[in-house]
Each structure stands twice: as structure tokens, then as C-alpha cells.
Structure 1
């Protein structure tokens, strides 16, 4: 089974110049906690509700701060023609719950989540188990607690 068969295609996008308020509204509309950030038809980052809270609100920045101030620029992704089991193993190894999905021209075509995989790809539970394990890799601050 390929990722294109389980991914979510209707993905809302933010731009680096959008405000955090706009990004939060998009998250509310799609009932999600993450948005890909695109500029000039290219994926340049990801922003989560946690990024907004920890990187901006906690630092005293308001809703008019720009997405670029909160987004993560290092983006892990997968390709739509990859095998589900391979992507599951990769997600488990890097401990992420969602990955943007690109075509081979590196254009965003969707997003795949732990929920997509668990509900649409039977037999992935074992490969996905490692995603929920604690990790220091994705801390929001530069100093590990």
C-alpha cells in the first residue's frame, strides 16, 4: 500500500508572512494542530499549535506575530509513492506523528498522520508503537530539561 492511499489530501497551508491568528484560525477550521508552511509553491516549514504557544505566546508575542517567528524550518517529509510500512518505520524512528507528503517534484500533495495510518493501513500498529516513546529530539527549547 502506498502513502497516497492513506494520506489526507485537503491540507490547509500557511505562509511565513501570515499572522499567528490566521494560522490558528486555519487550525480551528480543519480541526488540526499542524499546518504546512509554503512559500512560492514550496514547503518551507511546519507550524503547530504547540509552536504558537511555546515559541511565541510564552515569549510575549501576540496574535499579530508572523508564522515565520514560530515555525519549524527543518521539515521531515515523505513521498506519495512510498510504501506505508517504510514511512511508518521512518515516523517511528524520528518520532513524529505527522508528515507532509510531497510528489516527486517536491510539491505538497497532502499530509499523513498517525490516525490516517492506524485507521486506513491495517497492520501498522507495531511499526507505529515507537512514535509515542519519549524523546529529547524534538524539544521546543535549546536546553534539554
Structure 2
């Protein structure tokens, strides 16, 4: 059984909360990623995805060259601990229907990102159930 620290992408690039949506999109393009942790130093304040920029930003009428990342980022984020086992993290991702998680150390500092792709390519276990759970249509509250 793999630990998250063995399969995560270490030292992820981050963006600041006052950076513009345009800067976030350019960083994602340059890094070929779909999400960035939003940080103040090593403290994670939230996450922003390419989908956030498109839906919460541009579609809502915000101007990418002036709107801030903090205007649309997800603040209440799930995260993994670097010591968690990969099966537990896969279940957590499936339950929350998310494809990427920041990875924190014991001091709650960002040390990496783990994605469904990392789990699929860097471990021996199957990711079928997690992919099915993540891809299932959003469950609506009654």
C-alpha cells in the first residue's frame, strides 16, 4: 500500500489570492495543469481550477485582467496528509467528487498535489471505483 508522499507531485506551483484570473489561467497554461493551490506563503487558503475561471469568473461577467483569484477560489477545501495511504485518499476523492487534492505535512504546510492521474499511474491498485465516483453526476441535496 502506497503512501501519498510516494505518489504525489511534490512542490507544486501556487498562486496568491490577489493575483488576477488572467495570471492564474496563464500559469495553468504554462504548467499544463487544471488547478492551482491559492497560498499565502505555505498556508493554503483555497484552490482555483480552470473550471472556476470559466464558470465562476468569465461566465459570471468578471474581467479576467482585474478580478482576483480570491473572488472565485474554493475556500473550504479537502486535503490529504502526506502520511495517508493511497487507498484512503482515493476513497476521499471519490466521496467528494474531486480529481486533485493538496497534500499537507503535519504543520499544515503544502508539500504536494495528488491527482487521480497520480493514483492511476504511480501505484499498483486500481482506480476504477474512484474514477466512477468522481465522474458520477453531482448528487443534489433533497
Deviation at 1:46, TM superposition (A): 0.4
**Per-residue deviation, residues 19-64 of structure 1 (Å, max 9, x unmatched):** 1111111101110110000014210000011111111111211122
**DSSP 3-state at the match of 1:59:** coil
TM-score (norm. length: structure 2): 0.91
**Which segments of 5 or more consecutive residues in structure 1 lack a partner in the other structure?**
138-143
Residue number in structure 1 paired with 2:134: 131
Residue number in structure 2 paired with 1:54: 55
* Structure 1 vs Structure 2 CA RMSD: 1.5
Structure 1 residues 79-98: aligned runs within 5 Å: 79-98=81-100
Structure 1 residues 18-57: aligned runs within 5 Å: 18-57=19-58
| Paired residue total | 138
TM-score (norm. length: structure 1): 0.89
Counterpart of 2:110 (choices 108, 111, 116) is 108
Residue number in structure 2 paired with 1:140: none
**DSSP 3-state at the match of 2:119:** helix
